[in-house]
Every structure is written in structure tokens, then in C-alpha cells.
Structure 1
Amino acid sequence: MHRHRAWLRRGMAGLLASAALLAGVALAAEPVAVVTPAPAPSTSAAPGMSMVTFNLHHDREDWPARRKVILRELQALRPDAIALQEVIQKPHVRNQAAWLARKLGYDYQFVSTDPPGRFKRYGNALLTRRPVLARNDHLLAPLGDYRTVAHLRIDVDGQPVNVYATHLNERSDDSGSRIRGEQVADLLKFIATTSGTAPVVIAGDFNALVDAGDLSALRNHYGDSFGSVHVNNELAQVSTLNRHYYEAPSRIDHIFFQQDRLLAREARILFDRPYAEGRWASDHYGVWTRLQFAPSPGSPAATTP
């Protein structure tokens, strides 16, 4: 009887081991979606804000599926402000910024050259989870290029901050460079008339490398957050154009910050992995950055080595 029980125990153990092995093989064969993880929460207690910029690629390539992936990442990050480009609304497609804002519980500002009530509207947007102190928008010169800028002044724990979102001309020839230069000049004028005394952050798809002559007037006043954080890395190989769609790396999506008022502490690329086989969140990657308020001149923090 004892030998019979021992044989039964050995037989059951073998069956369980075989079942576990088969289950492991089945799980290994199951496709796994790859999603870019959110950055680990910062341990720094220094006050500041975080921001994301992302070109949505309007409603191409299964927007209902893509928006779930985008929403999940933004929910994990909980940035203070989000700049969106290529935002569209049309019959059977709710305004993409409005949909994301509602799901996130954020306020939003959408700006388009298409008048309200038109069957299709296309433009830029700013989303924020912070109280809005002021909002503006502007059609950039030259007017025939139909480019805009959205502006929100937000309250970040008692500190007002101006955030701007834009999308500049896409042409890669001399004409495009000239138009972008004109748009940057107009953007800077708009900022000067709307920012007051609060610090400034400018985000968007600039369709130009950060050191391009088109953006030189902007760079004279504002720092490149990603480049400031990754100053010792090979930045020429970093791309915000999705390498699945574009052959050469090109970092053209930027978050600029006012260097005398803010410090760039962290920055990373978002949505740079497919969420399923052959499926991407956009034809661009996103950029996330964390900015810290610079110490006031004369404060103990400003004089500490």
C-alpha cells in the first residue's frame, strides 16, 4: 500500500510539472505589447513643473487604438502641462485634445485657423491639470501658412508660469527656413505681450533642429530642456521623428525654458516603442521634461555651492 501511494505521488508530481511546462510555453508564445514606461517619480522635493510635447499625427492609423495608449502614458506621467500638435476634430472624430482632457481631468485650450462651427478644425492645443490664470491664442505670421500658438498662464503651487504650444512650417528648403524665422520672430513678440513677469516655457513641433538658424532668435532667449539634461550625450543620434517612418534621426520637437527663471532637471523621449506589432502611438515621439524653479537672487539656495 505504501509503495502504491508513493507511485501515485510521483505520478501526480510529474503531471503537475508537465502542465506547468506547457503553460510556460503557451505564455511565451503569447505576443506582448511593448509600451514605453513612465519615468520613475523624482525624489527631488524642489518645486517646479513637468511638461510633455507630442505631435498626435491627427486621426491617422487607428486613432481609437492609439488614443488609449497615449492616454495610459499621460495618466502615468501626470504632467502639469501638455502641448499637442496636429490636433483634429471632424465628423465622427471628437476634438482629440478635448477627449484627452476629459479623460485626464485636465483643462484645455485649442487653437485653430478654422473658425468655430466648421465641419473640420485642425490646430494645436495646451492641456493642464493646474488652475488657469490667463489664456490667449495667436495666428502666426505669415498668415498664409496657417500656423498658430496657444498660451496658458497656470498656477503651479502658487507660482504663475506661462506655457506656449506651437507648430512651425514643415518645409525643408530655403523658403521653409525663411518662414520659420518669421514665425519665431512673431512668436517672441506674442510672448513679450502676454507673459508678464511669470517664467516662460515653449513647447511644440518646430520642424527644425535645435541649433538651426531658423531658431537662433529663440535660442538667444530660451534653453533647450532635453539638450541641457543630456549635454554629454551624442545628441545628433537622438530623434523625435519616429524611426519607423523616417530614415534619419532628427530632433525637431522641443521644450524650451526661460533659463534665468527655470532649471532643466530631467528629460526623456516618450512613445519610442511600438505598443503592438507594427503599431505606434504616432509618427513622432514625444518629449517629457521636469523643470525646477530657479532660486531667487540673494536666497540661501542661490548662494549655496
Structure 2
Amino acid sequence: MNRIRCAVSAALLFLSACAPEPAPELNVMTFNMRYDNPEDGENNWRFRRERVARAIEMNRADVFGAQELLLNQLNDLKELLPGYAEVGVGREDGAGAGEFNPVFYRTDRFELLDWGTFWLSETPEKAGSKGWDGACERLATWTVLRDRAGREIFFINTHLDHVGEVARREGVTLLLRRIDSLCGGRPVVLTGDFNAEPESEVITHVVGSGRLRHTREAAAERSGTAWSFSDFGQIPEGERQLIDYVFVDDGFDVRSYRVLPDTLDGGFLSDHAPVLVKLQYYDTKR
């Protein structure tokens, strides 16, 4: 009997050793952090920055796209999040002026292979260019990241215009075109504040071709609020909108989707709530 038990144990150990490792998971976040506005009073950035950093660390974001960061905010986060590196430029001049849409990634998990920026305009390589009927300069920051196991992903982060309908529509067209030309067959993640609700033409345009999926609809599990923008709680809850998104292609299985609380430790994180998505690679190595 002992010999049978030993044989069974040996067989199980052999099968366990031979079984392929499960594909790893990836925690992705999109987070509009609200620009440093002196008129925000108790919700000004200087009162929120530590909470923002804690929320990122508590939720173990592996890579995240941020929106609306001014240079001083970017520098604060670089100091508060020493385990992360980032890439991005200011939208007004391609250097340090104006809002950034940076991509942050955990340095213990990823190395940066490539990155770049383009403006959502008729002249996407021209720094500071406004597009179509847009009220502001808008840009996208893209990266190619490789994890320690050799898997590579294409991650792109953006912020669509809050006024221009044509700018949002044409901006999406440009984003989809650039994703196809830049991703190199790698799994794709697109994050951002799209200033549009899920039923809008803007979001229908993103998912309409079947190239990308809204993670909320694709997730095995969903939790959190149905909205992501509360304007620091000033909008009545029934009127709040979902305008922040994580989209992925078929390189990932969406394990869970969650709109996180927009408060922590009794104070607001931002006028937006962060969105956290847990992804799993479909293949053990891409």
C-alpha cells in the first residue's frame, strides 16, 4: 500500500512539474487625477496627492494611464511612487507645458522598449496642435513594455476633448489607425478619459470594428459604481457619467472590472474615480 501511495505521489509531482504555468495576471488602471487647480480648495492637489499614491499602491496597479497631470503633479507622483517609472510630455509644447497623459509602469515587472507621443489633430506630429473643433490640445502617449518573462504589450493612454464632437470622433479614428500601425502584433491596452458615455457614438466607434473591447462588457466579474465622474461629489448620483475606460484586444482575458471609490481616508482622490481592470494573458508568452 505504501508503494502504491508513493507511486501515486510521484506521478502527481511529475504531472505538476510538467503542467504549464498559468498565464500571469496584469492590473491595469486608468485615472484622471484632476489638474492642480488653486480654486479647488480642500480638494486641491496638495491635499490629495498622498491619497492618490496610496490608492495606486493599495490596488497594486502594474501599469496605469493618468490624465490631466501638470508637471508639478507628475514630479510629486514620481517621488511618491518610487517603484514606478513613467513616460509622457506636456500637451502644449511636447516638453513640460500643459497637461500630461503619462503612462506609469512598475519597474520590478516591466522594462520600457519604446514609447512616443502624437497629438489628436490633423497634424499629429506637431507638438501643441489642436484638432478639428477641439477646445484644447489633446494627445496620446504610447509605450511598448516587456515583462520579466519576455511578454510584450502595447499600452496607449489618451484624453479626448470635452467640447469638440468632431475632435472626439476623428481622435478615435486616429487612435485606432495608430494602434494598428504601432502595436506590432502585441496585445493592446487603451486607457483614457473619453469624455463620452458607453452608449455614445464615440465609444461605439472604438468598439464597432471589433478590434477592441470595453473591459466592463467583457469582464467575468464587475463591481463598483456605474459612473466614474462625480465632480468631487457635486453631481447628483443619478446624473453621474461613466467616461473613463480601459479597452483591450483579444490578447487578454478580462478577469475583473471595478470602478474604485473616488474617496479614501475621508477625502476625495479626484473629481474622477479610478477604474481598475484585472487582465490575464491568453497565451503564456506573447
How far, CA to CA, are the matches of 1:62 and 1:179 in structure 2? 29
Percent identity of equivalent pairs = 25
How far, CA to CA, are the matches of 2:94 and 2:139 in structure 1? 15
Q: How does 1:152-191 map to 2 (within 5 A)?
A: 152-156=143-147, 157-171=149-163, 176-191=164-179
Among candidates 246, 264, 273, match of residue 255 of structure 1: 246
Letter aligned with residue 85 of structure 2 = D
Q: How does 1:34-183 map to 2 (within 5 A)?
A: 46-60=23-37, 61-89=43-71, 94=72, 96-104=73-81, 105-115=83-93, 120-129=97-106, 130-142=110-122, 143-144=129-130, 145=134, 146-156=137-147, 157-171=149-163, 176-183=164-171
SS of residue matched to 1:201: strand
Which structure's CA Rg is the greater one? 1
Deviations 1:225-253 (A, max 9, x none): 123226888x9x70001261223121110
How far, CA to CA, are the matches of 2:182 and 2:217 in structure 1? 27
Tell me if the contact between 2:65 and 2:102 (Cα under 8 Å) persists in the aligned partners. yes
Deviations 1:56-110 (A, max 9, x none): 1111332122010011111122212110000112xxxx2x233313432211012
Name structure 1 gaps, 5 residues minimum. Answer: 1-43, 297-305
The list of structure 1 runs, each at least 4 consecutive aligned residues, that deviate by more than 6 angstroms after superposition, is 230-233
| Aligned positions, number | 238
RMSD: 2.4
Tell me if the contact between 2:101 and 2:141 (Cα under 8 Å) persists in the aligned partners. yes
Establish whether residue 283 from structure 1 lines up as the match of residue 271 from structure 2: yes
Letter aligned with residue 30 of structure 2 = T
Tell me if the contact between 1:97 and 1:127 (Cα under 8 Å) persists in the aligned partners. no
SS of residue matched to 2:204: helix
Letter aligned with residue 267 of structure 1 = Y
Name structure 2 gaps, 5 residues minimum. Answer: 1-20, 38-42, 123-128
TM-score scaled by structure 2?
0.76
TM-score scaled by structure 1?
0.72
How far, CA to CA, are the matches of 1:225 and 1:116 in structure 2? 30
